[in-house]
Amino acid sequence: MMVLAIAALMVVPATADELADAMARADALNFFNSIGLEESQAQRMIAPVQRIRDLVQQHEQTSHQRLQAMTGTLQQARALLLAGQELPEGMRLAIANYREHREQARLTLMRAVDQEMSLIEDILYPDQNAMLDWTPPDSVRPKESVQQILEQQQIAMGRIQRAAQMLDRVKHLDPFNFVTARTPIVNDFLAMYFEPGTRRWERARRAAIDATDQARMLTEDQWQANALDVARDLIDRLGLMPTFEPERRPGAISWDALYRLFTSPATLEVLKELPDAR
């Protein structure tokens, strides 16, 4: 077993052949089509995916250099083990340290890639993210502390209160000003979170308009009792509600699959080839 373990340390990952590259490109294109990726999203996604590619290349280069430096030691250890001899203490420590450093480097890479993946998550719309599970293993992104959860709750409450204030303003407009002022009030609110003119902006505007209609239909007593609930529902529909304690979602594309997708060189190539992505 020890011989096999040392042999595994000496294996350098093979370069993907043409068939594997073609399959990876097909997987990336199929993924983007399945979530309905828009051209504007593809353009914004290139930068974080490029940074992921740079991180992976740096990791591979450093890993190769470390392996090269250890090759002699690993070959000696393999020869000793095949001859039925025990490894000297110094050699065992050197191999153990190499394994530890290799695992730590892999974890460091995964954490750095996860940060870029979080930016990609922000580029996608709520309905797209509903198909994806961005929750990494705890070793990659430890669960949030109580303090972090409290901070997220404060962010959520602030957004709900701003939505309630916007809805309250629209609700109490007189009939004439309702026609002329509702849209500017809604637009001012949405501009805090969305880029005007995008598909996401239009979807958000429709949701906000629906919420103002709902608020107008409530009596004053009903509004006072339910204003925060209506505002909370709007924030949820807009995809602006922070996730306090994310959990893995059955049926969604897993974080591991997303990690493999975005660390694949083919994914960046496909992104750049999409219409108007350059």
Query: What pLDDT does residue 248 have?
Result: 56
As a whole number of angstroms, the distance between CA 133 and CA 162 comes to: 29
HSE-CB for 33 with a 13 A CA cutoff: 7
User: How do residues 231-270 score in pLDDT, each as one tens digit?
Assistant: 999 998 888 887 655 555 667 899 999 999 999 999 999 9
Query: What pLDDT does residue 3 have?
Result: 47
Query: 12 falls in which pLDDT band (50, 70, 90)?
Result: very low
- Helices 39-82 and 89-123, interaxial angle, to 10°? 170
Radius of gyration of the chain (CA): 26
pLDDT at 148 over 90: no
Query: What pLDDT does residue 224 have?
Result: 92
pLDDT at 34 over 60: yes
As a whole number of angstroms, the distance between CA 162 and CA 187 comes to: 13
- Closest by alpha carbon to 160, among 96, 107, 230? 230
Mean pLDDT, residues 31-58: 93
Query: 2 falls in which pLDDT band (50, 70, 90)?
Result: very low
% of the chain at pLDDT higher than 70: 87
In which residue are the tokens 């996730």 written? 243
Mean pLDDT, residues 130-157: 79
Query: What pLDDT does residue 146 have?
Result: 63
Does residue 262 contact residue 52 with C-beta atoms inside 8 Å? yes
Provide the β-strand partners of residue 253. 132
Query: What pLDDT does residue 193 have?
Result: 86
- Exposed (0-12), middle (13-18) or buried (19+): which is 221, by Cβ within 10 Å? exposed
Overall pTM > 0.85? no
Residue scoring higher pLDDT (223 or 150): 223
pLDDT at 211 over 80: yes
Query: What pLDDT does residue 243 have?
Result: 66
pLDDT at 277 over 50: no
Residue scoring higher pLDDT (18 or 271): 271
Residue 140 CA, distance from chain mean position: 12
Strand, coil or helix: 132: strand
- Helices marked H in the chain — which ranges? 2-9, 18-34, 39-82, 89-123, 126-129, 146-171, 175-190, 199-217, 220-237, 255-262, 265-273
In which residue are the tokens 């505007």 written? 205
Arithmetic mean of pLDDT over the chain: 85
As a whole number of angstroms, the distance between CA 264 and CA 271 comes to: 12
Residue scoring higher pLDDT (184 or 275): 184
- Phi and psi for 253 in degrees, rounded to 5? -65, 125
Does residue 37 contact residue 130 with C-beta atoms inside 8 Å? no
